[in-house]
Structure 1
Amino acid sequence: MATDSTLRFGAQTDELTSLLRIVNMVRTGEAATRPEIGRLTGLGRGVVTQRVDQAIEMGYLEDADLGPSSGGRAPRTLRFRSERGRIVVCALGALHIHVGIAALEGDIVDQTHRQWDIARGPDETIAAAMEMVDELLARAPEIPIWALVVGVPGPVDFASGRPVAPPIMPGWNAFDVRSLFEERFGAPVWVDNDVNLLALGEFAHRGHARTDLIYCKIGSGIGAGLLSQGKIHRGANGAAGDIGHVRVRDSVAQCRCGKIGCLEAVAGGWALIRDAEKAIAEGATGFIAEHAGDEGGLTPEIIARAAERGDALGIALIQSSARVVGETVAALVNMFNPGVIVLGGAVTSAGEVFLAEVRQRVYELSLPLATRDLVIVQSVDDKREPLRGGAELAREQLFEATFPHWFAEGHPRLDAVAQVTAAR
């Protein structure tokens, strides 16, 4: 037989569950007024009023403008107080650090950028990123951090937040990125592959439409972020989407990972620079050859720009890259049947010179059903995309994965969030 304490605990649990649901309904826009909440939840008017008052007292909700009238007095709308906390995103690239701050609804409110070589190692890189975060936080010091996301250009064990044998990140293997940021900022931290953040950024950019999306980044290296039903597919150990190390048939090119014939070693930006330098040594002339002596040397951007300008060597290099990339993307299309393929990165800035070749290979090699509604587009090429994607990841982890575990506290509790993340 149930005891009084058991009954009280059950009542408290039901109350917390309905309160949590109401906050989420307002946060996501599912309901905006008390009458709407009552209709959608089936709760009585008095209970809805009580729960909303509790949510207001806890700081999650507040009254906003009057809503449309349905014949009587216009109801007061409710809003989620997204300004109560902020999300910090550190997007570490191969040659840059991009740091931003977002409100809890995901909008980027401040950002900064710095050129940086990730090969300088984790200690220097993380110190530089933290310095950039401090600069942004100083502009609005009164708002607490609710979450921090770090993107890195390599495979990540999402549960532990540690990079796993990243080819272009010497010294980063198994480095405890999460703990350093948690200790410094006292907030929950998630670490993920940078291409996953870009995929989530494109998802947010499209208004959360087209929930089956693949983002392929063809920059210095190559990778893919796989979005299935609006969720990142990371695989058992976080290696899903690492297409840069798929074997290209008949290739004997040495890859930076140590293997032979990887897609990246044939079609990545650094491979195109290698091939361009070889062609110039053999007598090639034109736009690329003219810029080979520039400070910093050749870059994937220079090769892409050359192709756009009609340079013969640039077109040949970009189209060659696009053909083999298209073959790998076709395999992804057959396996995952996405609605959208987004191509981003320095090499794809050649525009239609690159896209047309990829589209041709994908439609040649993929099943008709898999390509019937498929759209292949170039990324919006917005430097805020990884920041927006990081904010999306933080929002997903805060409000979908862990919210019930810290909701009663009124703000994310580091230990509760860490336990849930480690268990997933």
Structure 2
Amino acid sequence: MPSDRYTGLAAVLAAIRNSEDSTQPQIVERVGLGRSVVAQRVAELEAAGLVVSDGFGPSTGGRAPRRLRLHAEAGHVLGADIATNELVVGIADLGGRLLATRHREVEVVAGPEAVLGHLERLAAELVEEAGAADSLWSFGVGMPGPVAWDSGAPAAMPTLPDWSRHPTRAQLAERFGVPVWIDNRTNLSALGERRVNPVAAASRHMVYLGGGYGIGAAVVVDGRIHRGAHGLAGAIDHVPVPGVGDVVCHCGRTGCLEAVAGRAALVRDGRLLAETRQSPALAEVLERTGRIRPVDVTEAAGRGDTAARALLHRSATLIGRSLSTLVNVFDPDLVVVGGGIARARAHVLAAIREEIYRSALPAATRDLRIEPSAFDQEIAGITGAVEFALGELFSPEHLPAVLDARDRVRSLDEDMPA
């Protein structure tokens, strides 16, 4: 259990980190600590090099208060977003500003050795180019499935057994020499959404629809990610959908949401529409490329293809039906539609809204907002991974280790001959 001192330090640091304009009087109002306590905590954070002065704020009659900001240039963090068929790695400063990213197409089913080999090479390139070998502080990683929060290992996934057994966290920590935190990439996208979207940041109870190796949802309860006992909270991809028949899922069960409305379903059903020429647009794509991807269905719908639009509408209706269960259980004030489905928002958002309002309890939807993600989905996961790395680094539980490390750096600097 963190001491009151570290809880206060983390609260003051968060208040500064989350605002572009912070003075000590403003921090006192935000964190609910006394003026003298806030002054002490600010002094500690300044001594550690985490906070610096940045001019003066407006005077209210006395001496103008100093503006304070996070010393973002003091260090770097790495983030990685491992999706079903691609990998994005990024490096950011301590303010969460992405400095550079690398992208690689890679199938997660290739296994941890292959994927992590690419990840390590891309991350090493970023560290070298940023000159961050001696200023790297932490690493946040998003996985395409549930993660056991206590161990940081991917939870047992029948379709990805090799990942469940692989020491991903230990391997990356040894390679880069910093703490590594791992979570479900949908949870991390929700963290990123709350960082950049004022509507999401103001929400205390939110459901975020995303995707990893299937359809997933992140649940925010009282402003914090709710992970559940085994990291499975919000994992709706293998929830049975009534009335869809015996469609076999890759998990071995039948009627799962992922099997009838997710990526695999769009690929399967889109290919059928192409082969039977019910969709002229998809038939042309199949002839030209030999494959159908979810993005092809979205683009065909955008060109007015009736069959592609009907396929997306059916998927959206089934997703909305499953989301309505989460709405009934968790009673959110906001549902954000992100992940791959957000790229098709013009064709799916209205159907998702309609099904949630139709299927969920009226009391739960009376003032419920259902909005598209504010993110460019190409960087949602990596932004969330960086935010995750920073949030854990500066949490009351881990901030003591950060301050101890800064004390050692200062001691070494003072011992160096002039």
Q: Please report the TM-score for the alignment, with normalisation by the length of structure 1.
A: 0.85
Residue 266 and residue 60 in structure 1: after superposition, are their counterparts in 2 closer, same or farther (change >3 A)?
same
Q: Is the 8 A contact 1:146 1:412 kept in 2?
A: no
Residue 317 and residue 406 in structure 1: after superposition, are their counterparts in 2 closer, same or farther (change >3 A)?
same
Q: Is the 8 A contact 2:143 2:212 kept in 1?
A: no
CA distance in 2, matches of 1:14, 1:346: 42
Gaps of 5+ in 1: 1-12, 414-424
Q: Is the 8 A contact 1:156 1:191 kept in 2?
A: yes
Match of 2:364 among 365, 370, 388: 370
1:318 matches 2:309: no
Aligned-pair CA distance for 1:106? 2.0
Q: Secondary structure at the match of 1:98?
A: strand
Gaps of 5+ in 2: 409-418
Query: Per-residue displacement from partner, 1:359-403 (whole Å, max 9, x unpaired)?
Result: 111111111221122122222333221122112222322222424
Aligned to 1:399: 394
Aligned to 2:268: 274
CA distance in 1, matches of 2:352, 2:39: 56
Residue 327 and residue 22 in structure 1: after superposition, are their counterparts in 2 closer, same or farther (change >3 A)?
closer
Q: Is the 8 A contact 1:158 1:190 kept in 2?
A: no
Query: Per-residue displacement from partner, 1:148-169 (whole Å, max 9, x unpaired)?
Result: 0111111211221211233553
What letter matches 1:298 in structure 2?
I
Aligned-pair CA distance for 1:69? 2.0
Aligned-pair CA distance for 1:203? 1.3
Higher-RCO chain (CA-CA 8 Å, sequence separation at least 6): 2
Aligned-pair CA distance for 1:310? 1.9
Aligned to 2:178: 187
Aligned to 1:420: none
Aligned-pair CA distance for 1:316? 1.8
CA distance in 1, matches of 2:407, 2:149: 19
Aligned to 1:228: 221
Aligned to 2:49: 59
Aligned to 2:248: 254
CA distance in 2, matches of 1:41, 1:376: 35
Query: Per-residue displacement from partner, 1:80-112 (whole Å, max 9, x unpaired)?
Result: 312212221110111111011122222222212
CA distance in 2, matches of 1:76, 1:179: 42
Aligned to 2:167: 176
CA distance in 1, matches of 2:354, 2:404: 54
Query: Per-residue displacement from partner, 1:279-306 (whole Å, max 9, x unpaired)?
Result: 4444524111111123251000111111
CA distance in 2, matches of 1:182, 1:195: 22
CA distance in 1, matches of 2:126, 2:97: 15
Q: Is the 8 A contact 1:305 1:349 kept in 2?
A: no
Q: Is the 8 A contact 1:203 1:230 kept in 2?
A: no
Match of 2:154 among 140, 145, 163: 163
Aligned-pair CA distance for 1:204? 1.2
Match of 1:74 among 57, 64, 71: 64
1:360 matches 2:354: yes
Match of 2:404 among 393, 406, 409: 409
Aligned-pair CA distance for 1:226? 1.1
Higher-Rg member (1/2):
1
CA distance in 2, matches of 1:281, 1:16: 62
Aligned-pair CA distance for 1:230? 2.1
What letter matches 2:190 in structure 1?
A
Aligned to 1:382: 377
Q: Please report the TM-score for the alignment, with normalisation by the length of structure 2.
A: 0.86
Residue 412 and residue 269 in structure 1: after superposition, are their counterparts in 2 closer, same or farther (change >3 A)?
farther
Q: Is the 8 A contact 2:328 2:361 kept in 1?
A: yes
Q: Is the 8 A contact 2:216 2:234 kept in 1?
A: yes
Query: Per-residue displacement from partner, 1:224-247 (whole Å, max 9, x unpaired)?
Result: 111222211111001111101000
Residue identity (%): 37
Compare 31-40 and 265-274 and name the one that shifted more: 31-40
Q: Is the 8 A contact 1:108 1:388 kept in 2?
A: yes
Q: Secondary structure at the match of 1:245?
A: coil
Q: Is the 8 A contact 1:301 1:347 kept in 2?
A: no
Residue 203 and residue 61 in structure 1: after superposition, are their counterparts in 2 closer, same or farther (change >3 A)?
closer
Aligned to 2:412: none
What letter matches 1:94 in structure 2?
T
Residue 412 and residue 236 in structure 1: after superposition, are their counterparts in 2 closer, same or farther (change >3 A)?
farther
Q: 1:282-297 to 2 correspondence within 5 Å?
A: 282-295=276-289, 297=291
